[in-house]
A and B are shown apart, each in its own frame.
Chain A
């Protein structure tokens, strides 16, 4: 499964969801959905906003993890 590492990046950058919301223009609710791994899809535009605001690459925010077979 695709995992979003937004919480880890935010912790590393010492940023809150509200501050990221101010920087990106995305709503806090949407960012919480991303942080809590509840999103079904991520727009390239959103990814662009996040990378610009966090000064990182898409690979820093997204990773593929094999699902447990159990």
Chain B
């Protein structure tokens, strides 16, 4: 099976990304609805903690705040998925070095970096303010995202050069 063009692996992956994209939309809607419910329905937080046997002593406001932070990170993933879908759309059309793919890849790189920084901040706030504890991440796993960001930026430059070469070929008679 070929990788580019219609009915190829890239069009299959684009369909999979479409499912993830709309799934994320639904998840964000659920998270926002839950946080609104936590704030507006009295005793919901306490009831949820009791029902699910969660060992937590957080107020409804704190829970809603954490849910909103989770929703914000999901929105970040949604944006990254959106740009990735756009890239895969060009791949499934067989148009690899589309000029817009460079900027899309750069945005994906910035998005991944921003999400990682947001994760550090969220963990800091959760442990500092809400006294929640997280398993620390050591070794290469701690820098995996930064490697990914680096690779995405390098890939953006490759696509930029590819787009330039394609334009040159198009205008070589």
Contact = CB atoms under 8 A, between A and B. Distances in A.
Nearest to B171: A40
B53 interface: no
Interface in A32-70: 33-34, 38-43, 46
Interface string B162-173: 000001100111
Interface of A: 26, 30-31, 33-34, 38-43, 46
A70 to B, nearest CB: 25
A33 to B, nearest CB: 6
A26 B173 CA distance: 9
Given A39-B172, A40-B167, A41-B172, 20 more contacts: A26-B173, A30-B173, A31-B173, A33-B171, A33-B173, A34-B173, A38-B171, A39-B171, A39-B173, A40-B168, A40-B171, A40-B172, A41-B168, A41-B171, A41-B173, A42-B172, A42-B173, A43-B172, A43-B173, A46-B173
23 contacts: A26-B173, A30-B173, A31-B173, A33-B171, A33-B173, A34-B173, A38-B171, A39-B171, A39-B172, A39-B173, A40-B167, A40-B168, A40-B171, A40-B172, A41-B168, A41-B171, A41-B172, A41-B173, A42-B172, A42-B173, A43-B172, A43-B173, A46-B173
B6 to A, nearest CB: 24
Contacts of A41: 168, 171-173
Contacts of B167: 40
A30 B171 CA distance: 8
A40 B168 CA distance: 6
Contacts of A26: 173
Nearest to B167: A40
Nearest to A42: B173
A63 B172 CA distance: 18
A31 B173 CA distance: 8
A30 B172 CA distance: 9
Contacts of B168: 40-41
Interface string B15-50: 000000000000000000000000000000000000
Contacts of B171: 33, 38-41
B101 to A, nearest CB: 21
Nearest to A4: B173
